[in-house]
Structure 1
Amino acid sequence: MERVVQFTGPLQVEVAEHETAPLPPGHLRVRTRYSGISAGTELTAYRGTNPYLTRTWDPEARLFRDGAAGMEYPVAGWGYSEVGEVTEVSPELRDTPGVPAAGDLVWGIWGHRSEGIVPVERMVGHTLPEGLEPLAGAFARVGAIAYNAVLSAGINLGEDVAVFGQGVIGLIATRLAQLSGATVTAVDALDVRLTKAVEYGAARTLNARTDSVAEAVRAATGGRGADAAIEISGAHRALHEAIRSVAVDGRVVASGFYQGEGLGLRLGDEFHHNRVQLICSQIGGVPPQLAGRWTVDRLQQTFLRLVNEGRIDVKSLVSHVVPVADAAEAYTLLDRRPADALQVVLEF
């Protein structure tokens, strides 16, 4: 039997069991070891705020359409940060160069389920680097999201960068920005996360609840403002403060998954008067100016290489490893007590 985590309604989680499906041609079967929970995208489905629950995405028009939901409860098998062991390879693929073999540890996206049946083209190049512990493979996707935001910011050596939101992806972005040569100011509303941000390379920290963030960033940069800001919390007010914090012609990368209307975002103020560049970073693609050399796969593979080289520590980001049977408790923790958790990982 296959176990699958699913949302049966807002704030409702269960672990369902299904018959194991036969392996179709061109696929691999992977037994899951770990699956990381996204505290951003996944919680939108858990809470019932995801736009797909009320509208439909038209991939040809690239527009959301009102009138019908593109997704309904139960929402089964969400998750995009899995690592596991190949247990079966479609016969025609065996001994094919580049195709993972039975027994190989691989990373990829097949959702919170005890096994994944994955098309081979999505697994080529996804064998875990030798020497890397399996749990680290669950960070390939979240690491790529942070990496994409940092590349979108176009950071130059010696620049000042503010990173808004110091959850898992924000902490990784802070470290990657520092590795790129930036002096990083980390911003969050939780002091425990700001303390962690210092460990990940932040030169300065600001509490969004108690500090005048934009004013403090400008004071630290001689009145100029940050060269770039990365907003990764998904809060509209944080995006507005990021816009207020950058220099004239500064860059703001919006990498959060914003929900609902933009309450607190005023585009007639600093955005307009300082000619701020607002850039969207979304993991469906890399920055257009880099598309000739970079791909999403390269982002993921390079991130895992940096982890394997010891340049980025992901192990200390794992606050909880939760048996899949207790998945409901994991989501309650992330939803209600965010100060108590960073990366929560389901163990199968």
Structure 2
Amino acid sequence: MERVVQFTGPRQVEVAPCERAGLPPGHLRVRTRYSGISAGTELTAYRGTNPYLTRTWDPASRLFQEGSPGIEYPVAGWGYSEVGEVLEVSPELAGTEGLPAVGDLVWGIWGHRSEGVVPAERMAGHTLPAQLEPLAGAFARVGAIAQNAVLAADLHVGEDVAVFGQGVIGLLATRLARLSGARVTAVDALDARLAKAVEYGAHHTLNARTDAVAETVRELTEGRGADVAIEISGAYPALHEALRSVAVAGRVVASGFYQGDGAGLRLGDEFHHNRAQLVCSQIGGVPPQLAGRWTVERLQRTFLRLVAEGEVDVASLVSHVVPVAEAADAYVLLDERPADALQIVLEF
């Protein structure tokens, strides 16, 4: 009997048994080793704030429609950061060049479940590099999210960037911005995360609760303000402070998953008077100006290459490896005591 992690209601988690799925043509069967929990997107479903729980996304009009939810509880198998071993390949695919073979370690997206049945085209090129520890594969997607935000920032050598939010994705954005040649000011409300940001290359750190962030950013930049701010916490007050922190015509990359109404965001203030640019970064696509060269697949592979080459450390971001049977406790920890955790990984 297989197992899957599911939300049965707001803040209710169970590890449920499920039948083993068949293997259709064109698919691979993967036995999960590790599955990383997203402290952003997943917690919106865990807490009951995700917009899909109350509205339906219409892909044709690209609008949310009121009236019926797009997903309902139980929400089973969320998760987008999995690593596992290929157990079975659909017979007609055996020996196909570029596809993983039985026994290979692979990374991809099949959710918090003990076994994934995944379309083969989604796994092409997803064999884990031999020099990487299996846990590193759980960072392919979160690393791509961070890199996508840095690409949207359009950074140049010597520019100043403020990165708001120093959770896992924010820390990775801090590191990637530093690799891009920017001077980074890291902003967070937790001192432990700010200390980690220094390890990841931040030149300056500011505590959002105790420091005058926008004013200090201007002091650090000869009065101009940051060339770019990347907001990755998903908190509206942080987005507002990011808009306050950039220079005239500066850019703010909103990469968080914001929930509900925009309390704390006042667009008639600095955003209006400083003519700030506000752009969205979302992992469903790359910045439009880069679409001829970059894809989401390239983001993921590039990030893992940077890890393999020693440019980005992901091992020290793993604060907890939790047996899947204790998944409910892991979500409580992320929800109620975020200062005590960074990346939590479920072990199957």
User: Normalised by the shorter chain, which TM-score bucket?
Assistant: over 0.9
Counterpart for residue 191 of structure 1: 191
Q: Secondary structure at the match of 2:206?
A: strand
**1:265 aligned partner:** 265
Partner-residue secondary structure (3-state), 1:264: coil
Corresponding residue of 1:178: 178
Give the Å deviation of 1:131.
Answer: 1.0
Whole-angstrom CA distance in 2 between matches of 1:269 and 1:238? 14
CA RMSD of aligned residues (A): 0.4
- Aligned residue for 2:88? 88
Mean Cα deviation higher: 330-339 or 125-134:
125-134
User: Equivalent residue of 1:13, what SS?
Assistant: strand
Query: What does residue 239 of structure 2 align with?
Result: 239
User: In the alignment, residue 71 of structure 1 is paired with which amino acid?
Assistant: I
Equivalent residue letter for 1:54: T
Residue 284 of structure 2 is aligned to residue 284 of structure 1: yes
Shift of 1:102: 0.2
1:121 alignment partner, SS class = helix
Corresponding residue of 2:122: 122
Give the TM-score of the pair, scaled to structure 1: 1.00
Counterpart of 1:245, as a letter, is S
Query: Match of 2:155?
Result: 155
Gaps of 5+ in 1: none
Aligned to 2:113: 113
Alpha-carbon separation, structure 2, partners of 1:22 and 1:182:
49
CA distance in 2 between counterparts of 1:47 and 1:96 reads 42
CA distance in 2, matches of 1:40, 1:91: 38
Percent identical among aligned pairs is 82
Task: Report the secondary structure of 1:319's partner residue.
Answer: strand
Match of 2:17 in 1: 17
Equivalent residue of 2:129, what SS?
coil
Q: Whole-Å Cα distance in 2 between the matches of residues 329 and 19 of structure 1?
A: 24
Q: Secondary structure at the match of 1:24?
A: coil
Distance in 2, matches of 1:294 and 1:129, equals: 21
The normalised TM-score by structure 2 is: 1.00
Name the structure 1 match of 2:337: 337
Letter in 2 for 1:204: H
Alignment partner, residue 306 of structure 2 = 306
Deviations 1:48-68 (A, max 9, x none): 000000011001000000111
Once the two structures are TM-superposed, the CA of residue 154 in structure 1 deviates from its matched residue by 0.1
3-state DSSP class of the match of 2:320?
strand
Q: Which amino acid aligns with 2:157?
A: L
C-alpha distance in 1 between matches for 2:22 and 2:276: 53
- Residue identity in the other structure for 2:116: G
Deviations 1:294-331 (A, max 9, x none): 00000000000000000000000000000000000000
Q: Secondary structure at the match of 1:333?
A: helix
The one-letter amino acid of 2:110's match is W
Cα distance, 1:111 vs. partner? 0.1
Q: How many residues align?
A: 348
The Cα of 1:130 is off from its aligned counterpart by 1.6
2:343 is the alignment partner of 1:347: no
Q: 1: CA distance between counterparts of 2:7 and 2:209?
A: 32
Q: CA deviation at 1:22?
A: 1.4
- Gapped runs of 5+ residues in structure 2? none
Offset from partner CA, 1:73-92 (integer Å, 9 cap, x none):
00000000000000000000
What displacement does 1:201 show? 0.3
How far did residue 12 of structure 1 move? 0.3
Counterpart residue number, 2:38 = 38
Distance 2:175 2:38 in 1: 19
Alpha-carbon separation, structure 2, partners of 1:96 and 1:206:
51
